[in-house]
Structure 1
Amino acid sequence: MSKSEESPRLPLAINVVAKYWGEDLSTATEESSQGHAPRGTVMIGGIELAERHGLACYVFKGSLKDVKKRIDQGIPPIVVMPGIHDIAQHATVVSGYDLDERRILTYVPEPDTIGAIPEQKFEQDWEQDDMTEIVLIPADMKDLMKNEDLKFSKSNRACFEAERLRQEGRTEKAVERLRQAAEADPENAQAWSQLAGIYNEQGSDQAVPCYERAIRINPRYYLAYRGLGNYYLKKKDYSLAEAYYTKAIGISSSRYGPIYKNRAVARMQNGNNAGAKEDLAKYLEQTPGAADRESIKEAIAQL
């Protein structure tokens, strides 16, 4: 299974687990494709494709205990984890755990190996995205999940559906879907943060209380801090923009390279050219494929 098998309609993690259950979805994407799908449809599109091929799917707020339970049941769960470089998030398949070394084993498609992450780091990183877990199983195994208390199962799925609506440009429908999700599960930080993200794109002040709500629920919600930084940068409140970017970086310093470029802009406006220079260097270091690499180098030389 190579990374190249991922498509806009089929996330790699979904197909890895589907193949584990004997269903290869990679050919089905071509059959069902109607034009080009926007990137944001990836996860829900893959889930729906898997369901059409006889798999049942559950999306919920998980826990380390639940991940281990699934592994013990012979089910490889998918977890949504922080990204790296210029990718904000990525989905990872958990393939096992090591009791003696207290490590979580994850599937790495290239070079087709297993990654071993200390449990504490795994849990801290996963918490940044509110511990979203996805379980795919054959429909005839649904009884395994029958009496499970799957936290936020409906509202988390609604969040995935809303992201597709947003990518399709149906923002009002996306807002409506997320509002329903937040009302159904008021403690779902993901719903509040996604809702805030749409308001932020629209330039609406309603973004702030939604981001703040997400942070109150989950003080380690990286994307909410970053979102507030973006909001205040657009509002030209550079002190608050810098403060929120710094809080996000404090949670994870290597999660998302472009945040350093944004903080550099805020720092320059705040008269902190030395800090801005450091941030631009960090941006280039953490974003190897940056399209604006040469112009950023020139900016660094002038600071």
Structure 2
Amino acid sequence: MIENVPFHPQEAFQCGPASLAGVLNYWGVQVTPEEIAKDIYSPSAGGTLNLDMMLYSEKKGMKANQYKGSMDDIKTKIDLGYPIIVLVDLGLLVYQQNHFMVVVGYDENGIIANSGKDRLKPIATKNFIKTWERTNFWSLWITPQR
């Protein structure tokens, strides 16, 4: 588990800026969720777009890759000290409710994430995969430029 990823409790519809701020802060970029939201929150979308999360990270001098992740990939990156932003769909049936969260660890039961108002929230593998699969396992890996 990566213990020192900053946590920002999410305000309404601000999971993208809260997640992004935590990962950027982890890498030493000083920015608040509010500053991020002013720049990339989309009122018409009722949230933050995936592409804008990546572009904002790059604007702040980071390398950002969005890709289709896997549990093995998450475990490898966590072991190497990289928190990963994932997009899950918490909606029911045909109702979509996308949500960004930061995976900071894992154990034999599932993942550990900073999600919404919960810091270090354990999520069972089965539940996580079910909601993550609905977004085609969308993941965002942010690292410093080297």
- TM-score of the aligned structures, taking structure 2 as reference length: 0.75
Letter in 2 for 1:118: A
| 1:93 alignment counterpart | 102
Q: 2:31 aligns with which of 17, 25, 32?
A: 25
Distance 2:39 2:86 in 1: 26
- Of the candidates 104, 115, 122, which is equivalent to residue 116 of structure 1? 122
CA 1:73–1:123: 2 relative to 1, 3 Å = same
1:19 offset after TM fit, Å? 1.2
Sort the Cα spacing of 1:71 and 1:33 in 2 relative to 1 into closer, same or farther, 3 A: closer
Relative contact order, CA 8 A, sep 6+: which one is greater? 2
Root-mean-square deviation (CA, aligned residues, Å) is 2.9
2:56 is aligned with 1:49: yes
| Shift of residue 28, structure 1, vs aligned partner | 4.7
Equivalences for residues 69-218 of structure 1 within 5 A = 69-84=76-91, 88-99=97-108, 102-110=109-117, 112-140=118-146
Task: Show structure 1 runs of 5+ residues with no match.
Answer: 141-303
Kept in 2, the 8 Å contact 1:107–1:114? The answer is yes
Is the 8 Å Cα contact of residues 6 and 12 (structure 1) preserved in structure 2? no
How big is each residue's C-alpha offset from its partner over 1:166-186, in whole Å with a ceiling of 9 and x where there is no partner? xxxxxxxxxxxxxxxxxxxxx
Look up the equivalent residue of 2:78 and give its one-letter code. I
Distance across 2 between alignment mates of 1:57 and 1:139: 9
Q: Give, in whole Å, the separation in 1 of the partners of 2:140 and 2:39.
A: 23
TM-score, structure 1 normalization: 0.39
- Identity, % of aligned pairs? 24
Matched, 1:59 2:87: no
Task: Give the CA deviation at 1:109.
Answer: 4.2
Q: Structure 1 stretch 61-70 or stretch 123-132: which is displaced more? A: 123-132
Contact 1:14-1:47 at 8 Å conserved across structures: no
Aligned length: 134
**Could you say which structure has the higher helix fraction?**
1
CA distance in 2, matches of 1:106, 1:60: 19
- Distance in 1, matches of 2:12 and 2:54, equals 16
1:71, 1:16 → 2: CA distance? 15
Q: Distance in 2 between matches of 1:33 and 1:11?
A: 9
Match of 1:15 among 21, 41, 54: 21
CA spacing shift, 1:39–1:46, aligned 2, 3 Å? farther
1:139 to partner: Cα distance: 1.1
